Structure 1
Amino acid sequence: MSVWVRLGIVASAATFSGLALAAEPPLRTRAFLWDIEVHEDGTAVGTQHLEFAVANDAIARRQAQQARQFSEAIEQVELVEGYTQKPDGRRIPVEPRAVRTQLAPGTPNLPLYTDRKQIVAVLPDAAGGDLLVTTWRWTLTHPVVPGEFSFGWAFPRTTPWDSVEVRITTPAGKPLRTEAHGPVLEESTATDGRHVYHWHYRAPDALAEDPAALAPFDRAPRLFASTFADWPAFSRDYAAVVAPQAAVTPRLRTLAEEVTAGTTDRREQARLLYDWVSRHVRWVAIWLGNDGWVPHTAESVLDRGYGDCKDQATLLVALLRARGIAAEPVLINLAPTYTLSEPPVFRFDHTITYLPDWDLYADTTAGGAPFGTLPLREYGKPVLRVTAAGAAPGRIAPLPPEVATEHLSTRATLAADGTVSGTSTTQASGPYVTALRIVGRAIVAQEPRAAAARQLRTLHQDGEGEFTAVAAEGTEPQASSEGRFALVPHPGWVEGDSFMMPTGLRLLQRTGDGPIGPLERHDLPALEPTPCHAGRQEEELTLMLPSGTRPARLPRDVAVDGSFFRYESHWSFTEGAVRVRRSLVSTTDQALCEGARRAEAARALPAIRRDIDARISLEKID
């Protein structure tokens, strides 16, 4: 069982050169105490004690409702004690009727089946200056891997922590492997031979802001602990739990033969089976007890026609093995995290498939990804292959150059009354084609004209339009989408007001956004690591001007060169039309821009932003 805190880091839009300490924050953690007793079979009982000092009524109202989520099939949570302590020392206890168990909050239209619930305690008469105190008891009744336990916690640097203590006690002969960044560990042995691990942490001065592109478990103060001997042991033990689910049955063998009929090429057989699962098994998140970690049987997934990532991977593994093709489930994290702790802790949130014959990874949940292509956020990530022999952590190779390409072509006409109409075509390959198909499925789920109008509004262009060709399904390596649009009149454009070139029905990121880092994260410090990738982005915007007008002047051409990228733009005015061509080519061989590489990108991104925001104005021709 892994215990995690979900952290949200809210970044300001302001640009600043350093990380400033916050003034006295509205919320202060006076005490954070976790005491966990691990049993021989991997079950555990823990007590968590929290004390929050609230500085004003607004934060008091927000914090007065304390909630803890749990999956009732494998764990239980109960409130031991709760009260509001007034400045004069009076304690007002939580009334029994103010403690309720209810379904965990979620998004109603998310395809999710879950047994997760939450227990909510409402602290009475909370106001600024009070201390809000709760004590919870947590019981793990069914560990994922019998006999094993793992734990991880991170402490956001924007929260002041006056006193943190985490203590885990394990049976004799079942020591923990530990790792800590910030918290200090003391180890001891009880008189009965039990192992006692006690972490202390204190950070009373919080940062006002802590902008980041990576997940907290890559950068925040944190600790990890696990009874697993090492990652190969984790891989082997987890494989023992999930392997029976991928058993090859006669029905699965028959299906695999039908899908691959007509070809003896093993890689082509693998592609056909991948395509079949991608097209015929709908993704639905399932979190029911140990279903959060253990897949359903491959045959039951086939019966239902839906499943989550581990269900789809299990079915694909079974079908591949039915044709004699080696395949393994692989654990990965989709969050922006690029490290694994040394102690084996279940930080993964996604399952894909590995085909060792071709050193190839496949993700059937990716929404139309070509065989052998992954979503961008999976490249360069650490992974763990789940095998009976046990496997050490590996890493997916970064995206090679020229695999991911996108091209936007928008051709528009500005009429004398200020109306703008035109067409847009988006072409994509590699991981960008996956993104285009995801957008395409959202489009076809709507009325075409409504979808176009909504997309224009998203891009701050009011108007109407229609998508005439949409890439939504399939796993082909290239795809394109097209549409036409008409913007509301802009008579000021004809009269000399400045404006940006209309992009029309743009569906993917702007040129310059992503390959060398996020274009619009103005708040990130220059040395803060960011995900990056190799790829090519291009856009060509053309605007035919009304007769008798011309640009007063064209923006300057821009060229921004780096050791692993080149951005350039070129403006022209010919035959009555203004054109701008922009391109960014990244050849990075790393999935993370950090150190000197990040500093280089950070210097380039503002220049790219300025060019993207370049404006033109028109003048009359005498």
Structure 2
Amino acid sequence: MRLFPLVCVATAGWFAGIPVAGASFPARLDDPYTNEGETQTFTVNADGSFSKLDSMTLLVNNEAGVARVAQQYVWFNRNMADVQILEAYTTSADGVRHDVQPDQIRDVQEARSFDAPMFQDIQEKVIVFPAVEPGARVHLTYRKTQKQPIVPGEFSDFTPPDLAPTHNFRLIYDLPAGKPLYADARGFTVVPPVTQDGRTRYEYRYDKAHYSRLERGSVAYVSYGDRLMVSTFPDYAAFAATYRSSATDPSAHDATLVRLAQNLTARDRTPRDKAKTLYDWVRRNVRYVAINVGRGAVVPHNASAVLANRYGDCKDHVALYGALLDAVGVRNEPALISSGTIYTLPDVPGYGVINHIITWLPDLQQYADSTASNVEFGFLPASDMNRPTVLVDQGVVARTPATALMSRSTDLSIKVEADGSASFTYRLDASGPSAEQTRAMLRMQTPAQREESIQAELRSVNLRGTATLTTSDLTVADGPLTITMKGTIESLVVPGAAAAIPALTSLAGGFDSDTRYWLGERRRTQPFVCHNLALHERARIELPANFRVLDMPEAKRTQDHFVEFQSQYAFDPLTNVVTMTRDGTTHFDSEVCSPDDFAQMRPAIEAIGRDVRAEVIVKSTLVEEPSSVASGAP
């Protein structure tokens, strides 16, 4: 099994593969590899511990497949499980067997826990296969023994497709007959369960030869495509109850912790003020270690230990933030969630899709995620927006906000010199979730990184030059952000002939970059991420006397159910000044749009795309350099 974990997101991919005597499958050579077959057999005990036997064969179709297949990873928690490699070898294209040698199998520390001793029980067994080339097959059989259950008395397993051609994939779950297994098996064939000798065997099969390309910005495939979730939890209320019981913390009323909470909030009057103060302290003082919920026992470390160490995973952040809130009388409860780009929960609960935990503040009717160090109080990171949550204390399924508005206003002033160079002043005012995200980035930048950011802003609109950058107060934790850039531009326009000046109303970001995202796909077949924006852009270009304007862009206005946009252009011949404005807003009901939504909005987006590519056509005369007077002239 190979896993691709995101930040606190267990997006476990799997490779199919078990040798089938005499069987072969036509491979699409443009697919890096083919899962020729895999059987995973789980033997589950009454206490929730289990043994998993996994046998797979992967066919390498091309050079891209070599990189994907030649090294396999199996994650495990060394305090709770062990992994034995039973068989590992490569069959090269000429049929020769090449066994994996003992020194090609090693246990390594998961990278994200290198500097976090509390999490160094998370390991990966790495298997490096020899002689991997196009046409070769990689064979792996291993046993993972989960000696300590993730949740005592319960079992769950999540299987998303690996988006590679897959054949003869079988998942077998063998459980005590008195412990029923519930399933959400979308796209999988369900074999009727068989009960014999006090145990019940459940089987699910999967076969798929082709997956469509993931479109730009599309949500996770398992949100709308095939997936398998199996679980012994009958419902989400029972699932929440097990987390609630495991999260009991005897240190929650520790005197040091209570004193810290009271000191931090001494000047706060309202519950919201207190919740915000404590949130800002946790997100900026407790390092986040992105270990997925469910990769070990789902028990947070004691809040006092998290406070002392100043780091923790999402469970630990919720435990510490919750204890601080309790100390000042602000009600709160953990909320289990699927973070990342998985926007739906399966019908049955379990870890895998649920991979993260945040805080619900019932009296304030809002969520908070202190692991997001760059998100101000009152907002959530995009990875938490518009998705179901499981409120642990209430045992009910709720939902995070569907959308949040990001506002951005810019003012660009360019003064063109007679030789075609220019000076400029650019001001950006941002509010909403993007303001603190940008502020946090600026707080962390070194001078060299700041200079690179400035150059990136200029390169994004095909300009070269130099600039200095100033900002509003970066030490604040919330509110609008103002950035001002002042500098010079090399050769904005070459004088001496007719030329085009881009009708810029912003540098990086804004309408230009947003329309590039929208128009990255001509047609959509998959749900995709869409954010609500309010953009207001102004620009002024002052031309010298040796320039005259030949042509100006035409004003545009477009509106549909989702998008409003208008632009205006004006030229004052008395002052030789061009002014331009662009204003637009989006009106999405949620952070996820459908292909039908895209079809409706596409004409408006294309109209905006044409407008942001507009140009001001000018003609200029050369400015001659002053020449010296020849000595001795008559």
Q: TM-score under structure 1 normalisation? A: 0.86
* Aligned-residue offset at 1:395: 0.7
Letter in 2 for 1:550: R
Comparing 180-189 with 592-601, which one deviates more in the overlay?
592-601
* Aligned-residue offset at 1:299: 2.0
* Structure 1 SS opposite 2:403: coil
The corresponding residue for 1:337 is: 342
Structure 2 residue aligned with 1:311, among 289, 311, 316?
Answer: 316
The corresponding residue for 2:432 is: 430
* Aligned-residue offset at 1:165: 0.8
The corresponding residue for 1:571 is: 569
Letter in 1 for 2:396: A
* Aligned-residue offset at 1:499: 4.2
C-alpha distance in 2, partners of 1:245/1:541? 60
C-alpha distance in 1, partners of 2:480/2:69? 50
Letter in 1 for 2:533: G
Letter in 2 for 1:496: A
1:321-379 C-alpha deviation (Å, 9 max, x unpaired): 11222111222333122100111022234332111112111233333544322234433
Structure 2 residue aligned with 1:238, among 243, 251, 265?
Answer: 243
* Aligned-residue offset at 1:554: 1.7
C-alpha distance in 1, partners of 2:602/2:422? 35
Comparing 181-190 with 370-379, which one deviates more in the overlay?
370-379
C-alpha distance in 1, partners of 2:92/2:439? 56
In structure 2, stretches of 5+ residues that fail to align are 4-9, 15-26, 623-634
Superposed counterparts of 1:71-90, under 5 Å: 71-86=77-92, 89-90=95-96
Structure 2 residue aligned with 1:164, among 155, 161, 169?
Answer: 169
* Structure 2 SS opposite 1:271: helix
* Structure 1 SS opposite 2:372: coil
Q: In structure 2, do the counterparts of structure 1 residues 406 and 35 end up closer, same or farther at CA, with 3 Å as the change threshold? A: same
User: Number of matched residues?
Assistant: 600
Any conservation in 2 of the 1:36–1:169 contact (CA below 8 Å)? Answer: yes
The corresponding residue for 2:532 is: 534
The corresponding residue for 2:35 is: 29
* Structure 2 SS opposite 1:357: coil
C-alpha distance in 2, partners of 1:533/1:570? 25
* Structure 2 SS opposite 1:187: strand
The corresponding residue for 1:584 is: 584
Any conservation in 2 of the 1:538–1:583 contact (CA below 8 Å)? Answer: yes
Q: In structure 2, do the counterparts of structure 1 residues 68 and 595 end up closer, same or farther at CA, with 3 Å as the change threshold? A: same
* Aligned-residue offset at 1:86: 4.5
Letter in 1 for 2:133: A
Structure 1 residue 557 and structure 2 residue 555: aligned? yes
Q: In structure 2, do the counterparts of structure 1 residues 101 and 300 end up closer, same or farther at CA, with 3 Å as the change threshold? A: closer
Superposed counterparts of 1:185-584, under 5 Å: 185-207=190-212, 213-244=218-249, 247-285=252-290, 293-346=298-351, 347-367=353-373, 369-387=375-393, 390-399=394-403, 403-443=405-445, 446=448, 448-457=450-459, 460-469=462-471, 472-492=474-494, 495-502=497-504, 506=508, 509-511=509-511, 519-520=517-518, 522-523=520-521, 525-574=523-572, 575-584=575-584
The corresponding residue for 1:93 is: 99
Q: In structure 2, do the counterparts of structure 1 residues 97 and 109 end up closer, same or farther at CA, with 3 Å as the change threshold? A: closer
* Aligned-residue offset at 1:211: 5.5
1:145-189 C-alpha deviation (Å, 9 max, x unpaired): 2121211111144x2112211111122211111011111111323
Structure 2 residue aligned with 1:139, among 142, 145, 148?
Answer: 145
* Structure 1 SS opposite 2:134: coil
C-alpha distance in 2, partners of 1:569/1:589? 25
1:473-516 C-alpha deviation (Å, 9 max, x unpaired): 4233322222223233345377434342456754xx323766xx
The corresponding residue for 2:597 is: 597
Any conservation in 1 of the 2:109–2:120 contact (CA below 8 Å)? Answer: no
C-alpha distance in 2, partners of 1:289/1:223? 17
1:442-496 C-alpha deviation (Å, 9 max, x unpaired): 4456464454235434554332222122554423332222222323334537743
* Aligned-residue offset at 1:37: 1.2
Any conservation in 2 of the 1:69–1:117 contact (CA below 8 Å)? Answer: yes
* Structure 2 SS opposite 1:383: strand
C-alpha distance in 2, partners of 1:208/1:451? 32
Letter in 2 for 1:154: P
C-alpha distance in 2, partners of 1:589/1:36? 42
* Aligned-residue offset at 1:227: 1.1
C-alpha distance in 1, partners of 2:186/2:152? 28
Letter in 2 for 1:203: K
C-alpha distance in 2, partners of 1:590/1:447? 34
C-alpha distance in 2, partners of 1:75/1:340? 27
RMSD: 3.3
* Aligned-residue offset at 1:405: 1.3
C-alpha distance in 1, partners of 2:279/2:333? 14
C-alpha distance in 2, partners of 1:270/1:528? 38
1:412-464 C-alpha deviation (Å, 9 max, x unpaired): 22222232321222212221223322332344564644542354345543322
* Structure 2 SS opposite 1:573: strand
Q: In structure 2, do the counterparts of structure 1 residues 602 and 357 end up closer, same or farther at CA, with 3 Å as the change threshold? A: same
* Aligned-residue offset at 1:60: 4.1
* Structure 2 SS opposite 1:617: strand
- Work out which of the two has the higher radius of gyration on C-alpha atoms and give 1 or 2: 2
Q: In structure 2, do the counterparts of structure 1 residues 430 and 494 end up closer, same or farther at CA, with 3 Å as the change threshold? A: farther
Letter in 1 for 2:542: M
Letter in 2 for 1:597: D
C-alpha distance in 2, partners of 1:463/1:521? 29
C-alpha distance in 1, partners of 2:610/2:268? 53
Identity of matched residues, %? 28
Any conservation in 1 of the 2:537–2:582 contact (CA below 8 Å)? Answer: yes
C-alpha distance in 2, partners of 1:484/1:431? 25
Q: In structure 2, do the counterparts of structure 1 residues 461 and 115 end up closer, same or farther at CA, with 3 Å as the change threshold? A: farther
* Aligned-residue offset at 1:214: 0.4
1:106-150 C-alpha deviation (Å, 9 max, x unpaired): 699999965443323333333333322111222223333212121
* Aligned-residue offset at 1:51: 1.1
C-alpha distance in 2, partners of 1:172/1:518? 56
Structure 1 residue aligned with 2:50, among 3, 21, 44?
Answer: 44
* Aligned-residue offset at 1:80: 1.2
* Aligned-residue offset at 1:199: 0.8
Letter in 2 for 1:584: G
1:243-268 C-alpha deviation (Å, 9 max, x unpaired): 31772223332222222324543333
Any conservation in 1 of the 2:412–2:425 contact (CA below 8 Å)? Answer: yes
* Structure 1 SS opposite 2:494: helix
Comparing 548-557 with 264-273, which one deviates more in the overlay?
264-273
Any conservation in 1 of the 2:495–2:620 contact (CA below 8 Å)? Answer: no
Q: In structure 2, do the counterparts of structure 1 residues 103 and 368 end up closer, same or farther at CA, with 3 Å as the change threshold? A: closer
The corresponding residue for 1:618 is: 618
Letter in 2 for 1:606: E
Comparing 441-450 with 334-343, which one deviates more in the overlay?
441-450
C-alpha distance in 1, partners of 2:140/2:336? 35
C-alpha distance in 1, partners of 2:198/2:410? 67
Any conservation in 2 of the 1:114–1:288 contact (CA below 8 Å)? Answer: no
Q: In structure 2, do the counterparts of structure 1 residues 444 and 348 end up closer, same or farther at CA, with 3 Å as the change threshold? A: farther
C-alpha distance in 1, partners of 2:140/2:271? 59
Letter in 2 for 1:422: F
C-alpha distance in 2, partners of 1:267/1:144? 35
Any conservation in 2 of the 1:54–1:127 contact (CA below 8 Å)? Answer: yes
* Structure 1 SS opposite 2:54: strand
Q: In structure 2, do the counterparts of structure 1 residues 295 and 7 end up closer, same or farther at CA, with 3 Å as the change threshold? A: same
Any conservation in 2 of the 1:501–1:543 contact (CA below 8 Å)? Answer: no
Comparing 88-97 with 473-482, which one deviates more in the overlay?
88-97
Q: In structure 2, do the counterparts of structure 1 residues 608 and 349 end up closer, same or farther at CA, with 3 Å as the change threshold? A: farther
